[in-house]
C-alpha cells in the first residue's frame, strides 16, 4: 500500500490530501480545512454564569467581521487567552458562542475559535 501525503498551508486554511493506493480499496483523498475566528471576552454578555459572544463580534484571519460561524464542520477548538480548552467548555451555534462559566473571565482575554472540516473525495 502506498500512501501519498501532500500538505499546504495558507493564512486561512490548511489542506492535507491523503491518497491511498491500495488494490483492494477505491482511491480516496481527504482534505482538512481550518477556519479561525477571533474576539475578546469584553464583546460578550453574561447569562447567569455563562458568557455568550455573538458571531458578529468575531473577525476572521484577515481582520474582517463575520456574520455566522460555519454550520458544517467535524469539530472546533476553543482557545481562551491562548489556551486550548477541554471539550464541553464551549457551545457553538451558527450565531453564537457560549462559554460555560465564562462570567469569571477577564474582559481583555482573547477568544479564538478554530473550525476543522474534513472532506472525503473519491
**SS3 state at 1:** coil
Per-position pLDDT tens, the chain of length 122 = 344 444 444 444 555 555 555 555 666 788 899 999 999 999 999 999 999 999 999 999 999 999 999 999 999 999 999 999 999 999 999 999 999 999 999 999 999 999 999 988 87
Q: CB neighbours of 82 closer than 8 A, spacing ≥ 6?
A: 110, 112
d(CA 49, CA 68): 24
Strand-pairing partners, residue 51, are 46, 99
Q: CB neighbours of 63 closer than 8 A, spacing ≥ 6?
A: none
Cα Rg for the chain, rounded, in angstroms?
17
C-alpha cell at 20: 491511498
The answer to whether the beta carbons of residues 57 and 69 sit under 8 Å apart is no
Q: What residue ranges do the domains of the chain occupy?
A: 2-121
Q: What is the DSSP string of 87-108?
A: TTSEEEETTEEEETTGGGS-TT
**SS3 state at 61:** coil
CB atoms within 10 A of CB 102: 22
**Whole-structure pTM value:** 0.76
Amino acid at each position: 500500500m502506498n500512501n501519498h501525503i501532500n500538505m499546504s498551508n495558507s493564512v486561512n486554511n490548511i489542506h492535507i490530501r491523503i491518497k491511498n493506493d491500495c488494490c483492494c480499496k477505491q482511491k480516496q483523498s481527504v482534505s482538512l480545512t481550518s477556519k479561525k475566528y477571533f474576539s475578546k471576552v469584553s464583546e460578550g454578555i453574561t447569562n447567569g454564569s455563562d458568557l455568550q459572544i455573538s458571531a458578529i463580534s468575531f473577525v476572521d484571519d484577515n481582520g474582517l467581521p463575520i456574520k455566522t460561524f460555519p454550520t458544517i464542520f467535524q469539530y472546533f477548538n476553543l482557545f481562551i487567552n491562548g489556551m486550548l480548552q477541554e471539550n464541553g467548555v464551549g457551545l457553538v451555534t451558527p450565531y453564537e458562542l457560549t462559554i460555560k462559566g465564562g462570567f469569571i473571565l477577564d474582559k481583555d482575554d482573547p477568544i479564538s475559535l478554530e473550525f476543522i472540516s474534513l472532506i472525503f473525495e473519491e
